[in-house]
Amino acid sequence: MRVLLSLLKILTINFFVLALALTPIEIFLRIKMPIEMFFMDASSELASAVGWGPTMKRESQNNSNVRACDFNHKSGVSDDVKVIMTIGDSMLDCNDRGAKFENTIPYLLQQSLGKRFKVFNLAAGGWGTDQELLAFIHERDNIDPDIVILFYTPANDLFNNISRKAINENIAKPVFELDGENLIKKEVHYLHKSNYLSKILFKTEIYKRLNLSMPEIIEFFKFDVREDEPLTTLESENYAHMSGFLSPMLPRYKQSWIITKKILSEFNSEVEAIGADFLLVYLPTGARNHCETIEMFPNNCIGYGERRLIPVNCGAGETKFDMYQQYDLIFDLALSEGFKVIEAFDFFKKYESNHHELAADCIHFHNRIGPEAIVRRILNEIN
């Protein structure tokens, strides 16, 4: 017993010494170089329908909660003003510590369009296309849009659309399954919650950086409930931000595309049913390479160049990155379904080897350069 107590004492002392040593680093990163964090609101009526909702903030004037990444829509819309609903995930979401609303696509779009249009932004960090469809159905009568713009995120939408939980969070979400040709929504409920240690750990700047660079090591520190079905390493949550780009598609992603294709078709039909126009914007997010470093991409962030397969060694033999794989699938679907797909590859090709200059974490834009290029393409379709 004395040995165990002594060992526990040593471990406790070492833990506090390490914590003290890392505290200045954490404070510096938090103040000077924070990585975007998207808080998930699980208390609203919308959250009950989709799993969680947008980041919220309190408006002091009337003491009410409003979406942190949306305009303050206080009054109605006149008949000569067209309403645009933008729908997406963390690429359109923001909060006080991460992306600022003034640098987001919805804000820049509204500024460019002027008073002839009114933009409503419906977005939450971590949403997949499945949750975005549910959010649209929940909010469409309140917003009554003339144009619906869905933003597809290739970095993780395929993973999200077949997952029963939020990435890096033990928050359950509904999933769609196919019953013949029909989408069936299934609710998922977890009996366990992440403990307080894991919740604190996940929100530190040090952890977020380690999770980006060494996901297999960080796996040891995760205490939340994992997906129940057995997955290969590359199909697991740790590789969610790269595996959707691998060619040929992994089994999990092949299955997800079958469901995602149906979700997109359903989205188009639901928008048409209210007499609105449906546009899909393919967001050119980079692919985080957690495998062997590729000489052309020293920062392990793969961008968009000429069409080609990029070989990579992931420890179990060589596989390849195909940055246009998901776009081609969506483009073919759009042709058959009759909706438009907007892309901005021409602009992003110049950042193929240095995509991190647009997105420090390889995915989320940290300045206006990327969003402005995408907005220019959207304006070509709307004006």
Q: Which tens digit of pLDDT belongs to each residue from 204-236?
A: 777 766 665 665 555 555 544 455 565 788 998
> Which whole number is the average pLDDT over 41-45?
80
Look at strands 147-152 and 277-282 and give their pairing.
Answer: parallel
Q: What is the pLDDT of residue 197?
A: 63
pLDDT > 80? residue 19? no
Tell me the CA end-to-end span of the chain in Å, nearest whole number.
Answer: 76
CATH number, span 38-190+225-382: 3.40.50.1110
Instruction: Please give the pLDDT value at position 7.
Output: 59
The residues, any chain, with a CB within 8 Å of residue 39's CB and separated by 6 or more, are 55, 95, 125
Greater pLDDT, 280 or 189: 280
What would the pLDDT profile of 94-119 be if each residue is shown by its tens digit?
865 556 889 999 999 999 999 999 99
- The per-residue pLDDT for 223 is 45
> Which pair of structure tokens corresponds to residue 364?
């989320």
Note the pLDDT of residue 211. 63
Question: What is the edge-to-edge ordering of all strands in the sheet holding 246-247?
Answer: 246-247, 318-321, 310-313
pLDDT band at 41 (very low <50, low <70, confident <90, very high): confident
199 pLDDT band, cuts 50/70/90, is low
**Quick check: 249 and 238 in contact, CB under 8 A?**
no
* Three-state secondary structure readout of the chain: CHHHHHHHHHHHHHHHHHHHHHHHHHHHHHHHCCCCCCCCECCCHHHHHHCCECCEEEECCCCEEEECCCCCCCCCCCCCCEEEEEEECCCCCCCCCCCCHHHCHHHHHHHHHHHHEEEEEEECCCCCHHHHHHHHHHHHHHHCCCEEEEEECCCCHHHHCCCCECCCCCCECCEEEEECCEEEEECCCCCCCCCHHHHHHHCCHHHHHHHHHCHHHHHHHCCCCCCCCCCCHHHCHHHCCCHHHEECCCHHHHHHHHHHHHHHHHHHHHHHHCCCEEEEEECCCCEECCCCCECCECCCEECCCCCCCEEEECCCCEEEECCCHHHHHHHHHHHHHCCEEECCHHHHHHHCCCHHHCCCCCCCCCCCHHHHHHHHHHHHHHC
pLDDT exceeds cutoff 60 at 4: no
Q: What span, in angstroms and rounded, lies between the C-alpha atoms of 139 and 127?
A: 15
> Mean pLDDT, to the nearest integer, of 331-336?
98
Cα three-residue angle 212-215-218, rounded to 5 degrees: 110
Please tell me whether the peptide bond between 248 and the residue prior to it is cis, using omega within 30 degrees of 0: yes
pLDDT above 70 for 172: yes
- Domain locations in the chain? 38-190+225-382
Amino acid (1-letter code) at residue 182: N
The per-residue pLDDT for 225 is: 45
Distances (CA, A) of 219 to 211, 239, 300: 8, 11, 19
Average pLDDT of the residues in 361-380: 95
64 close to 237: Cβ distance less than 8 angstroms:
no
Segment 32-53 mean pLDDT:
78
Chain centroid to Cα 283, Å, comes to 10
Q: What is the pTM of this model?
A: 0.85
Confidence bin at 191 (pLDDT 50/70/90): very low
pLDDT at 33 over 80: no
In this prediction, residues 233-241 reach a mean pLDDT of 90
Q: What is the largest CA-CA distance in the chain?
A: 80
Write down the pLDDT at residue 80. 87
Burial of 215-236, coded b for 16+ CB within 10 Å and e otherwise, reads beebeeebebeeeeeebeebbb
Q: What is the predicted pLDDT for the residue at 130?
A: 98
Least confident span in 157-171, 199-213, 317-331, 343-357: 199-213
